[in-house]
Amino acid sequence: MARLVMKFGGTSVADLDHIRNAARHIKREVDAGHEVAVVVSAMAGTTDQLVAWCEAALKERQTFDAREYDAVVASGEQVTAGLLAIILQDMNVNARSWQGWQLPILTSNAHGSARVLKVDGAELSRRLRDSKEVAVIAGFQGLHKETGRITTLGRGGSDTSAVAVAAAIGADRCDIYTDVDGVYTSDPRVVPHARRLDKIAFEEMLELASLGAKVMQVRSVELGMVHNVRIFVRSSFDRPEDIDPHGNPPGTLICEEEEIVEQQMVTGIAFSRDEAQISIREVEDKPGVAAAIFGPLAEASINVDMIVQNVSADGKTTDLTFTVPAADYQRALDVIVKARSAIGYARLDCATDIAKISVIGIGMRSHAGVAAQAFRALAERAINIRAITTSEIKFSLLIDAAFTELAVRTLHSLYGLDKATP
Ligand code: ADP
Ligand code: ASP
Ligand code: MG
């Protein structure tokens, strides 16, 4: 007997038929004698619709009250949790739904992207043990204790709810059921030759997720790493009846680095089109300039990602380029324009049609020249690199968005990640 958390994402609970399919996966595990807690997302498209309603509701103001945003968007998961509990009961499975505030899942006060602080798993554990009651928990939402208000964990946050619940009840495994049968070497929608990984280290998954692979929310991987939760990414679209609950189903285990026997140089490639580039031209080359630029951006809570400063040729002026999230682009521009006299620059060159391609692999720690191979391969395809950043287990390249797919596929082949064609 094992204790499992089973998380079902939006496409896996898109309508009643899909919810019924999820229920059959759950029944299979319950019938096999496992103790099961389930975490669900909103039905596919629901959260997008709820967000759009919040935006459309405003007439006079630029931004809405984040507490009310959370009151609206948290509702999607509530519906799925209730429906799944009804369907499970209809299949004679002992089940009960739980809202985030009922457990409770306690979070910070950062409405819209709250952090999980504590999950009380005591009552869940008692019920799992004593009456084998399946808990069906609404993902994505929590409670800020001091204000008593509902919070949400940021887009994709149900992954984090699942891992947090798994840690709280000491689950043997946290199964993430989604619309792909595991974590691939790159997004299989963009790279048809992408290969499923049997295992991936937490650190690599963390990089993949934070650099654009939305298969897992970044914070869920962080939590898994801290609490050493075994996370298994698998497909909800496999027929529940075809799976042996005691066997080895297809999927990807996110685990400690030591568990991975065959370590490749490169594990995966991620990409993101969600950034914008700002280049400040002819900035005076003197102490304090970087502070004059990045200080006001930080004060405006704008996260700066890549930063490249040219070495000044004449000792007087230089160029400074950085990227910000596309959603913050206009605000960042306003900040820089406002700070113009403090910074002192000639002009701004900006681009929003850019993409960041990132190559990730723990093997890079012990191999030199991995990035150099990429520069050569992209040059052969006439793809210009606008900026480069590197760290111990990854490097990222900024290119024109139009070349995203070509660049990702080129690098995927270059590092031998393509699956063998039969
Ligand atoms: P869910 O609704 O189940 O949470 P998501 O849409 O959030 O699912 O995440 C699954 C999607 O992540 C897949 O459909 C896939 O297109 C995308 N994805 C991006 N990168 C990867 C990758 N490296 N491996 C697997 N899937 C990936
Ligand atoms: N429903 C939320 C979203 O779409 C949370 C999730 O599905 O993980 O972002
Ligand atoms: Mg998701």
Which pLDDT does position 313 carry in this prediction? 80
Kindly state if the Cβ of 232 falls inside 6 Å of ligand 1: no
**Ligand 2 atom closest to the CA of 9, numbered from 1:** 7
The per-residue b/e assignment along 116-152, b for 16 or more CB within 10 angstroms, e otherwise, is beebebeebbebbeeeebbbbbbbbbbbbeeeebbbb
- On whether the CB atoms of residues 12 and 177 are closer than 8 A, the answer is yes
Q: Among 6, 153, 187, 394, which is best to mutate for testing ligand 1, by the most ligand atoms less than 8 A from CB? A: 187
Q: Are strands 275-284 and 252-255 parallel, antiparallel or unpaired?
A: unpaired
How many angstroms separate the CA atoms of 260 and 364, rounded?
Answer: 15
Which pLDDT does position 338 carry in this prediction? 96
Beta bridge partners of 323: 277
pLDDT per residue, tens digit, the chain (422 aa), is 899 999 999 999 999 999 999 999 999 999 999 999 999 999 999 999 999 999 999 999 888 899 999 999 999 999 999 999 999 999 999 999 999 999 999 999 999 999 999 999 999 999 999 999 999 999 999 999 999 999 999 999 999 999 999 999 999 999 999 999 999 999 999 999 999 999 999 999 999 999 999 999 999 999 999 999 999 999 999 889 899 888 889 999 999 999 998 778 999 999 999 999 999 999 988 889 999 999 999 999 999 999 998 887 888 899 999 999 999 999 999 999 999 999 999 999 999 999 999 999 999 998 889 999 999 999 999 999 999 999 999 999 999 999 999 999 999 999 999 998 75
Length of the chain: 422
In order of start, what are the domains of the chain with their CATH numbers? 3-258 (3.40.1160.10), 268-414 (3.30.2130.10)
Which pLDDT does position 200 carry in this prediction? 97
Which pLDDT does position 287 carry in this prediction? 87
How many angstroms separate the CA atoms of 221 and 166, rounded?
Answer: 12
Residue 377, token pair as written in the block: 């391969």
Which pLDDT does position 422 carry in this prediction? 57
Q: Is 406 exposed, middle or buried (0-12, 13-18, 19+ CB in 10 A)?
A: middle
Maximum Cα interatomic distance, the chain, rounded to a whole number of Å: 78
Contacting residues for 376 by C-beta, under 8 A, at least 6 apart: none
**Locus of tokens 């692999």:** 361
Q: Among 13, 155, 163, 178, which is best to mutate for testing ligand 2, by the most ligand atoms less than 8 A from CB? A: 155
- On whether the CB atoms of residues 357 and 397 are closer than 8 A, the answer is yes
How many angstroms separate the CA atoms of 212 and 156, rounded?
Answer: 12
How many angstroms separate the CA atoms of 221 and 94, rounded?
Answer: 30
Q: Which residues line ligand 2 (CB under 6 A)?
A: 9-10, 41-42, 47, 76, 139-140, 155-159
Which pLDDT does position 386 carry in this prediction? 93
Q: Among 180, 216, 236, 357, which is best to mutate for testing ligand 1, by the most ligand atoms less than 8 A from CB? A: 180
Query: Which sign does the torsion angle of CA 409, 411, 412, 413 carry?
Result: positive
Residue 67 phi/psi, 5-degree rounding, is -70, -35
How many angstroms separate the CA atoms of 388 and 358, rounded?
Answer: 10
Q: Are strands 394-400 and 354-360 parallel, antiparallel or unpaired?
A: antiparallel
- Per-residue CA distances from 170 to 35, 166, 176 (Å): 11, 6, 16
Q: Which ligand ends up closest to the CA of 42? A: 2
The residue whose C-alpha atom lies closest to atom 6 belonging to ligand 2 is: 156
How many angstroms separate the CA atoms of 145 and 150, rounded?
Answer: 9
- On whether the CB atoms of residues 119 and 100 are closer than 8 A, the answer is no
Residue type at position 358: S
How many angstroms separate the CA atoms of 222 and 233, rounded?
Answer: 15
**Whole-model pTM?**
0.94
Distance 213 CA to ligand 1 centre (A): 7
**Ligand 1 atom closest to the CA of 185, numbered from 1:** 23
The residue whose C-alpha atom lies closest to atom 27 belonging to ligand 1 is: 187
Distance 74 CA to ligand 2 centre (A): 9
